Structure 1
Amino acid sequence: MPDLNPDLVNQLLRERRSLYPAQYTGEPVDDAIIKEMLENANWAPTHRLTEPWRFVVFSGEGLKKLAGFQSELYKEVSTREGKFDQGKFEKLATKPMLASHIIAIGMARDPKASVPEQEELASVAMAVQNMYLTAAANNIGCYWGSGGVTYYEEAKPFFGLGPNDKLMGFLYVGNINKEKWPKGRRKSIDDKVTWVG
């Protein structure tokens, strides 16, 4: 085991924040940081080594493709259901442009592994936490959103996911004004823990 500094680990964990696209500067994030985030995601815990996380990274012109796909799919599905909202359509068509990169988060099932789905979902969430922490260590803003087309079955093929897989949302990534890194807010851990001993 390497000689790690617990104080630095504690600081990183406690300084991580969800930072939203409206807070981003518009300056692109270096692809090397995105690749480091993805590599660290790959080291998340995984039962039976199924490694269920799947990511699609959108940047540059890819952000326009994502924006067009999700806004048009929303329009199609919501119109069919009689729930179309022009404001939501416009938000889906423009919000991706606020980010430097957007990482679609997927969970791919391994039918041979017979691992409970909740364990696979937890593995993907831990992979995303690794990306969050890597972003924070690089003073980069991150936000995991699960709105828009996340729960549309029709969206899965666009992200390379099959019918038994899950689209778990989108990680928005962007540079931020480092002087505006927000203070954290958490209630005491004592209210959430019972010790038995």
Structure 2
Amino acid sequence: MNTRQLILERRSVRAYTDQPVPNEMIEEILEAAIYAPTHKLREPWRFVLVNEESQERYVDQLMTLLAKRGQLDQKTDEQRQMMRQKFADVPVYLTVLYEVKGTEDQQMEDLLATAAMIQNVQLLATELGLGCCWKSGKHWFTEEYAEMIGASENERVAGIIQFGWPALIPPLKKRTAARDKLTHF
């Protein structure tokens, strides 16, 4: 598959089979993904992997975090159980951290380099037949989550990538043509 095809076929996959994802596949993806452009070769990223062995503990801690933040207060027991099951149905979670140091400009460069590396991860996963989804915001960007996964005080969460063998690949959603967003100087 050529690069253009790969970019066009990548989807945010949110439904996975229960087939395990070998750690070696994730490591293979990361070994290539880290060749993203990074200013002065700072390589500001670090990864925290949740796989088959640690998934139950991770989901338990994630649900506890949500409860402490009050995000489950308005949910029924059934809704809480459905939410727990939705988290448990994801075979692999990869938290991507980036180092926060230097000037504001350097921090922005490091975040952007990390985002480019995450896109590499997604494309490589797609090429290998894995489904993945880059998650951000809400509870993922909190101090509580950073503490839960062992981030240092100089690290921030850039995103969480969920991986698994796709049970369903969503259809292509139409995008605005690039020419409609292109301005000539």
Asked if TM exceeds 0.5, the reply is yes
Instruction: Give 2:129's aligned residue.
Output: 139
Instruction: Give 1:125's aligned residue.
Output: 115
Whole-angstrom distance in 1 between the partners of 2:28 and 2:37: 17
Instruction: Give 1:3's aligned residue.
Output: none
Q: Residue 76 of structure 1: CA displacement?
A: 1.3
Q: What is the Cα-based RMSD across aligned positions, in Å?
A: 2.4
Of 141, 145, 149, 2:139 maps to 149
Whole-angstrom distance in 1 between the partners of 2:113 and 2:52: 29
> 2:12·2:170 contact (CA, 8 Å) conserved in 1?
no
Instruction: Give 3-state SS (helix, strand or coil) of 2:69's partner.
Output: helix
Q: Residue 49 of structure 1: CA displacement?
A: 1.7
TM-score (norm 1): 0.81
Amino acid in the other structure paired with 1:61: E
Whole-angstrom distance in 2 between the partners of 1:44 and 1:105: 14
Whole-angstrom distance in 2 between the partners of 1:18 and 1:163: 30
Of 68, 73, 76, 2:65 maps to 73
What are the superposed Cα offsets for residues 155-188 of structure 1, whole Å, 9 maximum, x if unpaired?
Answer: 213323223321123111010247x563342121
**Higher relative contact order at CA 8 Å, sep ≥6: structure 1 or structure 2?**
2
What are the superposed Cα offsets for residues 98-120 of structure 1, whole Å, 9 maximum, x if unpaired?
Answer: 12211012112244x87522211
- Tell which deviates more after alignment, 151-160 or 34-43: 151-160
Instruction: Give 3-state SS (helix, strand or coil) of 2:141's partner.
Output: coil
Instruction: Give 2:157's aligned residue.
Output: 167
What are the superposed Cα offsets for residues 105-144 of structure 1, whole Å, 9 maximum, x if unpaired?
Answer: 2112244x87522211111111110110001111210001
Instruction: Give 2:97's aligned residue.
Output: 106
Q: Residue 16 of structure 1: CA displacement?
A: 1.1
Whole-angstrom distance in 1 between the partners of 2:149 and 2:20: 23
Whole-angstrom distance in 2 between the partners of 1:48 and 1:194: 30
Matches for 1:32-71 after TM superposition, within 5 Å? 32-71=24-63
List gaps (5 residues or longer) in structure 2: none
- Tell which deviates more after alignment, 147-156 or 84-93: 84-93
Whole-angstrom distance in 2 between the partners of 1:89 and 1:120: 36
What is the aligned length? 183
List gaps (5 residues or longer) in structure 1: 1-6
**Percent of pairs with identical residues:** 28
Cα distance, 1:110–1:48 mapped onto 2, change above 3 Å:
farther
Q: Residue 44 of structure 1: CA displacement?
A: 1.3
> 1:25·1:175 contact (CA, 8 Å) conserved in 2?
yes
Whole-angstrom distance in 1 between the partners of 2:127 and 2:143: 35
TM-score (norm 2): 0.86
User: Does residue 15 of structure 1 match 2:6?
Assistant: no
Instruction: Give 1:96's aligned residue.
Output: 87
Amino acid in the other structure paired with 1:50: R
